[in-house]
Structure 1
Amino acid sequence: MTNATETGRIDYARHAPDMFRSMLAFSQAAAQGLDPVIAELVKIPASQINRCAFCLDMHTADARKAGESDRRIFLLDAWQEVRDLYTPKERAALALTEAITLLTDGFVPDEVYERAAEHFDDAELARLVGAIVAINAWNRFGVTFRRQPGGAE
């Protein structure tokens, strides 16, 4: 195979730069107007669920750079068990992230959507869903092309 990365898979950004730029633009548009803490927090559990090492490495480092505590980052995988570490708004965003990422029953449950709608105005909710969809798309690229972590620190 020619033009393969160290994993033997292609560098999709190099071979489809217009698609890569479009993904970047979509991600940036989704983040506009969102609380930057929430925008980072939703990327980590989606990346955990999707097992995207590259995105986990990048977004945990980004969250730290944005001032997020190690404790809150480390406990994201068990956010439902931690009572006072995340705000109700953050908890609603995390629940929505899991529902959109997993789509276990083929849809986002009404109670999860309604809880998010209680904490986010319509424009913010649209952008939150966009941010969650964007990280899930990035995760799919990362795991398909086996992007390796590194350089995020």
Structure 2
Amino acid sequence: MDGMSKRIALGGAPELYQAMANLQAQVNKAGANAGLDPKLLELVKTRASQINGCAYCLDMHSRDALELGESPRRLFVLDGWRETDLFSEQEQAALALTEAMTKLSATQSVPDDVYEQAAKVFTEEQYQAVAWEIIAINSWNRMTITSHTPLPKRDA
């Protein structure tokens, strides 16, 4: 794979990048206004990034989750969340919705049971914020993967 080959950086279109950043700021605001735990939203971002194979976003959002106090253990098993009792009912609903929305090209739908579970555990405002977070992170994943955005230099 030529994953490290130089590509045109989509972030090099400042007006469009700023529009994405503005969308993310509005999504963050919606999540906060809806009373969602920021750690739940980082799990959503991390899970979508796992599915899409976005190393840049995985690096960013796992680090952000840890800084918010997320446990390393939950991040380590996130891909197998259904096989554990480490995630709350709300987190499970958000993760199932994340998987369904991220895999739309394969499923062509969000299954009714996934939607119904999310609608049961979230208010309408919370559901909208989670869904928009999924839309946003999938867009960021596509931008960084397509651009071959390198990981930032870090000590660890």
TM-score by length of 1: 0.90
Please state how far the C-alpha of 1:73 moved relative to its aligned partner. Answer: 0.6
Which residue number in structure 2 is paired with residue 101 of structure 1? 102
Distance in 1 separating the partners of 2:10 and 2:102: 22
Map 1:1-153; keep pairs closer than 5 Å.
7-14=5-12, 16-32=13-29, 33=32, 34-82=36-84, 84-103=85-104, 104-151=106-153
Partner SS for 1:28 = helix
Amino acid at match of 1:108: V
Distance in 2 separating the partners of 1:120 and 1:31: 16
Partner SS for 2:107 = coil
Amino acid at match of 2:52: N
Unaligned runs of 5+ in 1: 1-5
Amino acid at match of 2:152: G
Please state how far the C-alpha of 1:75 moved relative to its aligned partner. Answer: 0.7
Decide whether aligned partners of structure 1 residues 28 and 151 sit closer, same or farther in structure 2, where only a CA change above 3 A counts: farther
Partner SS for 2:5 = coil
Distance in 2 separating the partners of 1:140 and 1:56: 13
Unaligned runs of 5+ in 2: none
Distance in 2 separating the partners of 1:100 and 1:121: 18
TM-score by length of 2: 0.88
- Percentage of matched positions with identical amino acids: 45
Please state how far the C-alpha of 1:151 moved relative to its aligned partner. Answer: 3.9
Please state how far the C-alpha of 1:26 moved relative to its aligned partner. Answer: 1.0
Partner SS for 1:42 = helix
Partner SS for 2:76 = helix
Aligned-residue CA RMSD (Å): 1.4
